[in-house]
Structure 1
Amino acid sequence: MSLLHAVSHLAIMAFALSAVMTTAWLIQRRSGHTGWIDVCWTFGIGAVAGVASLVPFPEGGGPTARQMMVALLVAIWSLRLGGHLLSRTWRVGDDPRYRDLIDQWGATADMRMFLQVQAQAAVALILAVSVALAAHNPRPQLGLSDGLGAALLLAGLVGEALSDWQLRKFRSDPANHGRICEIGLWTWSRHPNYFFEWLCWLAYPVIAIDVAYAAGWITLLAPACMYWALVYVSGIPPLEQHMLRSRGQQFRDVQARTRPFFPFPKLGSGG
């Protein structure tokens, strides 16, 4: 693929994801339900990354087995997470992280939220490009690294789905009203669903990285970017600030005894 074709494909992906997130901004603005932002983000990545994975490369050839496998993996990820977020948004409507931001921003909330979702489109582009690069690894046949990558992504999906199910089960019990979930995987991590979401994005470097494929190293940006976003920006920090405001000392006690991200028993004072 020539540099011109690569740049044009990148521009098309960037435009598509920006358009998706602009639509998300309009939907949340009209409906008042901020949960639609993450719904659109997830389905947008799945659609753009899936199509980009199947683009013939080199030109003239049909999709390879690897391209079809990677497109299927990102589609499964998108449908699983997007379906979960859609169900939650349909029932609850608002995401407390975004609602807190809107309350803090006041009169400038509309414009700042638009800039926020465009920043999320940029993150989505990094993820989608990583998926496409993994799909276009030129190794002629599927191999061990492809199987390991697929297994890693599926393990992440199972762990995330289990985390979500445990949380729903806990919240559905009236006896747990006002309490913080500390059952199952939530015993070992305050955010096991975030950890397993990050684990999914490690799959693409495993598939992509090869000594004969220099572009494959770019896919390391996917797990790095997702870790940064979840742990330091849009995941844990705003959610835990909300929990501290709403649950106070109860949540501080949970913070003291549970790791924030990696789901392993906390020993001593380590985080």
Structure 2
Amino acid sequence: MSLLQHVLLVWFGAALVMTAAWALSWKRRNAGWVDVFWAGLMAAAALYAGSFSDGAALNRWLVAMMGGLWGARLSLHLMHRVLGEPEDGRYRTLREHWSGDQRRFFLFFQAQALIVALFSVPLLVAAANPESGLRTVTALAIVVWLVAVGGEALADRQLARFRAVPANRGRTCRAGLWGWSRHPNYFFEWLHWFAYALLAVGAPQAWLALLGPVLMLAFLYRFTGIPWAEQQALRSRGEDYRRYQREVSPFIPRPPRSSP
């Protein structure tokens, strides 16, 4: 089966699952389920790539393990938030903007299915790599994955602990990694995709694995990531967040600067 056929099959499966996710979100009046299902579908795409690609066994196993664990952890983390908190402010704003039009929400969920298919490309390319054995780039990929997933999990845990304190309501989290980056979870999410680009080195279509970090950076900076998150933060936290913007790096972690 060609790469395109694999991608189309992933897209078809993701579209079916996202239809069910849209129905659930309509019933629960919480569009945050789209994120839960997106992460879960990425885990499923990694397992699919590892199971049905024809690359070396180690590459297939690493893609299935790395992508599966990353997506499953993220999906469970997001599910905990969706079940325990009101609908995210970003989606409440979108609901108001669209006047609750479920046709638009359906298209939004289907767009996420297409994104799953696009992000399955690096996974499929890496899993199809015929290069065998534990190479230097393979070891580097494992290190990048450990740093990225560990950093993202730590950032999520630090934010969850901060939000769990009632006195912090309306305040901006500066705990740990959040004092060095306004979006450390997004940074490590982006870093994570380099692991598959490294695993793909030596594959016939290795350059396609770069779609992971390139697309993720584009989405985070231009579409569904940082712009949405910062607009909502400014609406809910106002001047406290504006000061945070002046002092803390938007993406790549670095020491904070003093506000004039």
Pairing 1:199–2:191 present: yes
Partner of 2:73: 80
Pairing 1:249–2:242 present: no
Deviations 1:212-245 (A, max 9, x none): x331110101111111111211011111111111
Contact in 2 for aligned 1:134/1:208 (Cα 8 Å): yes
Deviations 1:23-51 (A, max 9, x none): 21111011112221111111111112211
Residue identity in the other structure for 2:244: V
- 1:97 deviates by 1.6
Structure 2 distance, partners of 1:92, 1:176, is: 15
Deviations 1:82-114 (A, max 9, x none): 11011111101422222211111115x312222
Partner of 2:210: 220
Structure 1 distance, partners of 2:253, 2:53, is: 40
Choose the corresponding residue for 1:125, options 106, 117, 132: 117
- 1:174 deviates by 3.2
With the length of structure 2 as denominator, give the TM-score of the two structures.
Answer: 0.93
Greater shift after overlay, 260-269 or 37-46? 260-269
Contact in 2 for aligned 1:21/1:117 (Cα 8 Å): yes
Choose the corresponding residue for 1:66, options 59, 65, 70: 59
SS state at 2:205 partner: helix
Partner of 2:226: 236
Q: Decide whether aligned partners of structure 1 residues 258 and 56 sit closer, same or farther in structure 2, where only a CA change above 3 A counts.
A: closer
Structure 2 distance, partners of 1:71, 1:260, is: 31
Residue identity in the other structure for 1:150: I
* Identity in percent: 39
- 1:175 deviates by 3.2
Choose the corresponding residue for 1:21, options 1, 18, 26: 18
Pairing 1:167–2:159 present: yes
SS state at 2:91 partner: helix
With the length of structure 1 as denominator, give the TM-score of the two structures.
Answer: 0.89
Q: Which runs of 5+ in 2 are unaligned?
A: none
Contact in 2 for aligned 1:39/1:82 (Cα 8 Å): yes
Deviations 1:61-94 (A, max 9, x none): xx71221121011111011111101111110142
Residue identity in the other structure for 1:69: L
Partner of 1:260: 250
Contact in 1 for aligned 2:49/2:60 (Cα 8 Å): no
* Number of equivalenced pairs: 259
Structure 2 distance, partners of 1:149, 1:123, is: 23
Map 1:8-157 → 2, pairs under 5 A: 8-57=5-54, 64-106=57-99, 109-157=101-149
SS state at 1:127 partner: helix
Greater shift after overlay, 224-233 or 258-267? 258-267
Contact in 1 for aligned 2:7/2:120 (Cα 8 Å): no
Contact in 1 for aligned 2:126/2:197 (Cα 8 Å): yes
Structure 2 distance, partners of 1:93, 1:24, is: 17
